[in-house]
Structure 1
Amino acid sequence: MDSVIFDPLVPLPVVWGAVAVAVLFVALALWRRLSGWWLRGLAAAALLAALANPSLQDEDRTPLSDIVIAVVDDSSSQDLSDRGDQSAAALAALEDEVAGMENTELRVVRLGDDPENGGTLLMGALAEAMAEEPRARLAGAVVITDGRLHDVEAAPDLPAPLHALLTGRAEDWDRRLTVTNAPAFGIIDEEITLGLRIEDQGAVPGAVGGQAELQVAIDGGDPQTFDVPVGEDLELPITLTHGGTNVIQFSVPARDGELTDRNNAAVVQINGVRDRLRVLLVSGEPHPGERVWRNLLKSDSSVDLVHFTILRPPEKQDGVPVSELSLIAFPTRELFLDKIDEFDLIVFDRYKRRGILPSLYLDNIAQYVERGGAVLIAAGPDFASAASISRSPLGEVLPAEPTGRVFEEGFLPEITDLGEKHPVTQGLAPAGPEAEDPGWGRWFRHIQLGQPQGQEVMAGVGGGALLVLDRVGEGRVALLGSDHAWLWSRGFEGGGPQLELLRRLAHWMMKEPELDEEALTATAEGQTMTITRRTLADEVGDVEITGPDGTVTTLPLEQVAPGRFQARFEGPEIGLYRLAEGDQEAVIALGPSAPKEFEQTVATGETLAPVIGPTEGGIKRIEEGLPDLRRVRAGRPAEGRGWIGITPREAYLTADVTVTPLIAPWLFLLLSALLTVGAWLREGRR
């Protein structure tokens, strides 16, 4: 291609300086009324032209092809219905159209789910693809998607038309469940309110109706079903029944024709906390361990302690009239009959039958356990006597009976093989070579227990049962066959883990899930799931993992500690996973239960319209037919019925440049000299 340019013989500032001087001299000649001023001006112009050196530039250009970018949405929502087939057909047609155009190339970019649950970052992928190509060659861009993108604000500045080929069907519809409000903590046995919403999207069939069945399951139990309205904010009252993590699962059954059920369920984890822990401590007589029990329970500000102690047993009456006693009468009937269900735990510390608590009261305590209460017996020597509470109606719920023998000798409490597996005592004693000597202090009294029916987790003299745990009805009972645990709190011979032991005992008896001996739990860190199976058995089966898409994976569990088996699983996608091993089940969500990709699933072009409109592009539904591809001039509409357009860029690569002066500089100098002589002759004649 030829063009005329100026190739100055001197630096450009010198040329402009010469122009200024020439203008000044011509102006001076005009001011002096010299008749040859115009000849002087022409001579100066010829001299300046010589300096400017006008030349003919000849460029050897190589045309460059136009580039069309195609961004294909391969996110999870594109797996719904037949959208994958639609995308493949649209891409194949676009490739054929571009291949039929001269000097035009197609760049294909594929886009999956954002690993951080950011959804479909379509505009970001388009911007990255544009950054890798020369902007001057970009003739157009086409996105093949369902229109559900989550980064429209990242749309790049396009120099050419942008088009969208939409997958999906006009009759698509979907139902989803969302949790709008869920507290992180809740007080046990007090009602909390969760916010829910069930809504339908798309072309909802008339037969679906405005009601939905909401199923609510807590901790994997049997779900409860409620009929709730669709499209309204709901407030659902929930009462937490235990401390620790409460897993609440909400689900709505899938309907015929619905796009997906991936967004029909949600899981909420709420940490249950006790407002106040009410404990009734019943002491049979004053002794050194009584103060330890009281101080231990009173050290926790969240514990409301009611201490019932017998200071004046009947056999020690000294004749003082009752009217002169300073002690306040204890409300035994109110505590042991009327309000016994208000206590979370009842502790009997060296208590024996003296007729102070009638058999009716003790029978009521046994029924309290059957209904779900918790009783801890710290047995003293009286437990082995004829006045033992094991010979009362309370004995029906105790896990062992005394043989009548009491060992008054030093012994070291030991964790049994079963105790190594039980969460109450697991890890209290060091494992490995140090297990023979845990560094604990000795106790000096052991009440021999016969015919234990529960779980023997600690042993005493001769390997006999020392701590026995049992489940009775809905409640739990613990029997400690010694009243010398207080020696540990005093640091005798190094002491021992009394505080931790009693804390675990109390939490196990109050049914904290973290201390259940049979449980299947899972924790998540990113997409990695750690599955833990606690059991008292020697071995367990494989765990079945059901993914969000219904795929079932079987994973073996490996023993990592006595009674504890674990496995790690890398979740392939975000969503709700269901775990099962034997009769144990658990639910865990990797990321949100319904990923962002499934919050909106019905295809639409509304989100893309503000980006495509300014580029003169178009939005076409693939189900209505694949459009042809045409070339249009810049600034003209780039879409019409059955077609979309790209703008030719006519970019080129300059291979060589040749510069040839139009006129030799000496000719300009000769012309300038002749004009100067002409001016002199004209002015000289005058």
Structure 2
Amino acid sequence: MTQLRFDPSLPWLVPAALAVLALLVMVFSIWRGLRGWLWRGCAGLAAAAALAGPAMELGQRSGLSDIVILLEDRTASQDLGERPGQIDAASKDIARQIAAMPDTELRRISLTDDVDGTLLATRLARAVAAEPASRLAGVITITDGLLHDSAMLPETIDAPLHVLLTGQPDDWDRRLVIEEAPAFALIDQEARIRLRISDDGEVPASARAGSVNLRISIDGEDEQLFAVPLDVSLDLPVTIDHAGQNVVQISIDAPDAGDRTELTDRNNSAAVSITGVRDRLRVLLVSGEPHAGERTWRNLLKSDAAVDLIHFTILRPPDKSDGVPVDELSLIAFPTRELFLERIDDFDLIIFDRYRVRGILPPDYFRNIVRYVEDGGAILVAAGPEMAGVESLNLSPMGTILPARPTGRVIEQPFLPQLTDDGRRHPVTAGLTGAPEGNEEHWGRWLRMAEVIPEAGAATVMTGAEDKPLLVMNRVGKGRVAMLTSDQVWLWGRGFEGGGPQLELLRRIAHWSMKEPELEEEALLADVSGGLNVRFTRRTMLESAGPLEITRPDGETETISLRETEKGRFTASWTAPSAGLYRLRDHDLERVLALGPAAPREFERTVADEAGMAPLVKSSGGKVVRLSDGIPDLRAVKVGARAHGRGVRRDWIGITPRDAATVTGLRRKPLMPDWAWLCLIAGLALAGWLVEGRNRDRSLPPNGA
């Protein structure tokens, strides 16, 4: 690189003024007819040029190598069939050919899985932007063409883009597509999942006929089988039967197509996680008599916007006997038949608050209550002194399901409620604010309780006076029963001796009775965060838990140990290897965990397709070549020339060398040394003087004329 530069020894105004003066002298000389005007004008211009300091700037150039980008798509869909071998063979051969080209560098980039699918366009745009456009000779991608970020493709590339397409021309696949699925659904109400079964690629004729077997199960239980048509959107009705996460697993049977099996069965199943929520919790509260704590339950339940409460209070004093029938004492008719026979299954919880057996409910009604609990209902008994008398619920047919039997003794003395070892583990009482520890007393005392003997299998989570059971809980059939053996909980609400967590305790008891997932004493929880990172929590009443057995989507199993972090809580952190449906098991406790989308995006479509990248390939002058036809040769072509073609044996693709270079040094050399400028100026001035003198001599007359 050679350039003419100027480095004036004086300000630019001086050479410029001298040049202007020289031009004026030339013009004047021409006007006066002087013969030496050209030489004198050149002498002045030469003087101006000498003051401008002209010099030659000589640059030293160093050639730069050309860059070829090789982008290898190694996402999950590229592990199917013969694709891994095609990728390895093509990468090795392309690298060998580029290494044989002079002054050419290879940039190898490997694209791996992302939770959003194959982000090939994003990776390609970043790779091209990272290299100088003056050195980029070509881009080669080895992919199945299935990308999920096509909007990120560059508008153009200043080099040929070639796509080496993996897979086989006769590949085909059947897939289950979840078009729409709800995130939440009401318990015991129908929700709908919209799905479709679709075929891609060269589907064999034998696989196109007939219907497809669709299998459905919720939380891995009660699988149902349906025959459904292909390529039709279907609304699948599902009914969620419990609160919390419900995993709906949907799958189709593998098609029978002889030797031509589909690419993968990973997209033949999907897992949809639906959170079950209750529309309204229906609670029936029956108060046996007016008392100081009656409003405690009513205020608690009425303050919860998710609770529909029906409350009846029996007003007849226990010491009054005037012969008036009990069904004539209510302000409104007590609809016992409707509530306890016809509509009892509509309630999620029935609370008996200091209820006495007085003949209002006949034995058959109590037997129906027993049936209601065994079928999944919930009963909560808040007892007072009546539990120790002849009107105790324990003496009714309902006594067979109560978690404790009264001894007939009422303890009338102040006591401090305490948590038992089971109580520190049970989610109803664990972590209650201000729970007493050792000799420290943080709760107020109660003044009265009934003495009871817990039934076998019942859990005593709180004790009272003389270390007797205060809160006893048990499961009966599919239902639950809890008994609070004192009617003094209202003292906490009034702040007696500092009070206590009255509302929180009663809320937990009620919601445990209604089977809220966060209050299950035996539970296996999975908190998913950060994509595939999972934190397991095993809640149990036992002294130990685990190991936890995990079954992966591919059928392989692994076990992880659980560590106790607090009473009744065992935890572990784990990272799943991939998205999919996982089965968790700890002894008899099982659950299903869905990680990632309903169906991983990598397997939504698996048949190789060039359509997504074809426009950019065409605009760049590149070519899409199927690797099933062989690995193409690599050639160097001129910029603007055709960059692909058919050779003698196979296709060829081209890259365009750029001949880029960089300047490594500069050297400046004066156009002429100072003495040469001086000689030039003097010579031009002398030539002008001689020319003018010779012309003057010719104009004089000869001597003697």
Same-fold call, TM cutoff 0.5:
yes
| Secondary structure of the corresponding residue to residue 306 of structure 1 | strand
Question: Kindly tell me: are residues 19 and 137 of structure 1, through their superposed partners in 2, closer, same or farther at Cα, counting changes over 3 Å?
Answer: farther
Q: Is the 8 A contact 1:218 1:247 kept in 2?
A: yes
Q: Kindly report which structure 2 residues correspond to 1:210-229, keeping only aligned pairs within 5 A, or say none.
A: 211-229=211-229
Query: Which string of whole-angstrom CA distances, capped at 9 and with x for unpartnered residues, describes residues 116-138 of structure 1?
Result: x2433334444544455544333
Provide TM-score, normalisation by structure 2: 0.84
State the Cα distance separating 1:626 from its structure 2 match.
Answer: 0.5
- 2-structure distance, mates of 1:564, 1:452: 24
Helix, strand or coil for the counterpart of 2:365?
Answer: helix
- Residue 491 of structure 1 aligns with an amino acid whose one-letter code is G
2:231 alignment counterpart: 231
- Compute the displacement of 1:514 (Å): 1.8
Q: What are the within-5 Å matches in structure 2 for residues 446-457 of structure 1? A: 446-449=450-453, 451-457=455-461
Q: CA deviation at 1:60?
A: 6.0
Equivalent residue number for residue 277 of structure 2: 273
Alignment-derived partner of residue 407 in structure 2? 403
Q: Give distance in 2, aligned partners of 1:362 and 1:91.
A: 78
* Residue identity in the other structure for 1:476: R
Residues 645/432 of structure 1: CA separation in 2 closer, same or farther (3 Å cut): farther
| AA in 1 matched with 2:142 | I
Q: What do the CA deviations read for 1:636-663 (whole angstroms, capped 9, x no partner)?
A: 1101121001112223455677777898
Per the TM alignment, residue 513 of structure 1 is displaced from its structure 2 partner at its CA by: 1.9
**Structure 1 residues without counterparts, runs of 5 or longer:** none
Matched, 1:362 2:360: no
Provide the secondary structure at the position in 1 that maps to 2:84: helix
Mapped pair 1:171 → 2:176? no
Equivalents in 2 of 1:155, 1:528: separation in Å? Answer: 33
Equivalents in 2 of 1:538, 1:334: separation in Å?
A: 45
**Alpha-carbon offset, residue 369 of structure 1:** 1.6
**Which stretch shows the higher mean deviation, 508-517 or 586-595?**
586-595
Change (3 A) 1:674 1:537: same
Seen in structure 2, the aligned counterparts of structure 1 residues 53 and 158 have a Cα distance that, compared at 3 Å, is farther
SS of the equivalent of 2:602 reads: helix
Hey, what's the Cα distance between the residues in 2 that align with 1:410 and 1:433? 18
State the Cα RMSD in Å. 3.8
Equivalent AA in structure 2 for residue 571 of structure 1: A
Distance 1:375 1:389 in 2: 12
1:620 to 618, 621, 625: 625
| Aligned mates of 1:16, 1:142 — CA distance in 2 | 57
Specify whether residues 207 and 52 from structure 1 end up closer, same or farther in structure 2 by C-alpha distance, changes over 3 A only.
farther
CA distance in 2, matches of 1:326, 1:368: 26
How far off is 1:58 after superposition? 7.2
Q: Distance in 1 between matches of 2:130 and 2:569?
A: 53
Counterparts of 1:49 and 1:97 in 2: how far apart (Å)? 56
| Residues 361, 322 of structure 1: alpha-carbon distance in 2 compared, 3 angstrom cutoff | closer
Shift of 1:444: 1.4
Deviation at 1:254, TM superposition (A): 4.8
1:398-457 CA-to-partner distances (Å, cap 9, x unmatched) read 233222222222222222222222222222376795586343422412232354452222
Amino acid at match of 2:652: W
Gap change, CA 1:325 and 1:374, over 3 Å in 2: closer
SS in 2 for 1:222: strand
Decide whether the 8 Å contact of 1:62 with 1:652 is kept in 2: yes
Give the secondary structure class of the aligned counterpart of 1:636. coil
Quote how far apart the aligned CAs of 1:543 are.
1.0
Change (3 A) 1:330 1:646: same
Structure-2 residue corresponding to 1:648: 657
Query: Greater shift after overlay, 90-99 or 482-491?
Result: 482-491
Counterpart selection for 1:427 from 421, 427, 431: 431
- 1:315: Cα distance to partner? 7.0
Note if contact 1:413-1:443 (Cα within 8 Å) is conserved in structure 2.
no
Letter aligned with residue 134 of structure 2: A
Within 1, Cα distance between the matches of 2:462 and 2:231? 57
Cα distance in 2 for residues equivalent to 1:636 and 1:671? 56
Q: Which residue number corresponds to residue 539 of structure 2?
A: 534
Deviations 1:10-56 (A, max 9, x none): 59977888888778887888899999999999889988988999988
Give the TM-score normalised by the residue count of structure 1: 0.87
Q: Which position in structure 2 is the counterpart of 1:439?
A: 443
Q: Is the 8 A contact 1:631 1:648 kept in 2?
A: yes
How far did 1:587 drift? 2.9
**Aligned partners of 1:283 and 1:310 also within 8 Å:** yes
Q: Is 503-512 or 287-296 further displaced after alignment?
A: 287-296
Q: 441-450 or 499-508: which moved more?
A: 441-450
Query: Cα deviation per residue 1:333-368 (whole Å; 9 max; x = unaligned)?
Result: 222222222111111122222112212222222222
Please list the CA deviations of residues 371-411 of structure 1 after superposition, one character each: whole Å capped at 9, or x if unmatched: 22111112222222222222222223223322222222222
By how many angstroms is 1:624 displaced?
Answer: 0.9
CA positional deviation for 1:567: 0.8
Q: Which moved more, 1:655-664 or 1:619-628?
A: 655-664
Q: Which amino acid in the other structure matches residue 169 of structure 2?
A: A
- Determine if contact 1:36/1:683 at 8 Å carries over to the other structure: no
Superposition pairs of residues 567-606 of structure 1, within 5 angstroms: 567-606=572-611
Query: 485, 508, 511: which one pairs with 1:504?
Result: 508
For 1:59-107, what per-residue CA distance to the aligned partner results, in whole angstroms no more than 9, with x for missing partners?
7655443332222222232222232211110011112212333333323
Alpha carbons of structure 1 residues 682 and 371: separation in structure 2 relative to 1, 3 Å: farther
Alignment of 1:335-346 (within 5 A): 335-346=339-350
Report the count of equivalent residues.
682
Q: Which residue of 1 aligns with 2:159?
A: 160
Q: 1:337 to 1:433 in 2, by over 3 A?
A: closer
Pick closer, same or farther for the CA change 1:259–1:29 going to 2, 3 Å: farther
Contact 1:127/1:156 (8 A) holds in 2: no
* 1:99 counterpart residue number: 99
When residues 18 and 605 of structure 1 are mapped into structure 2, their CA distance, relative to the original with a 3 A threshold, is farther
Is 1:71 aligned to 2:76, yes or no? no
Q: 1:465 to 1:644 in 2, by over 3 A?
A: same
Are residues 349 and 452 of structure 1, via their aligned partners in 2, closer, same or farther at CA, if it must alter by over 3 Å?
farther
Is the deviation greater in 440-449 or in 672-681? 672-681
Deviates more, 1:440-449 or 1:470-479: 440-449
Report the Cα distance in structure 2 between the residues aligned to 1:334 and 1:656, rounded to whole angstroms: 102
Percent identity between the two aligned chains: 52
The equivalent of 2:262 in structure 1 is 258
Is the alpha carbon distance of 1:349 and 1:103 closer, same or farther for their aligned partners in structure 2, counting shifts above 3 Å?
closer
Distance in structure 2 (CA, Å) of the matches to 1:588 and 1:28: 102
1:222 Cα deviation from its structure 2 partner: 3.2
**Equivalent position amino acid for 1:621 in 2:** R
CA distance in structure 2 between the partners assigned to 1:26 and 1:192 by the alignment: 102
Q: Which residue of 2 aligns with 1:381?
A: 385
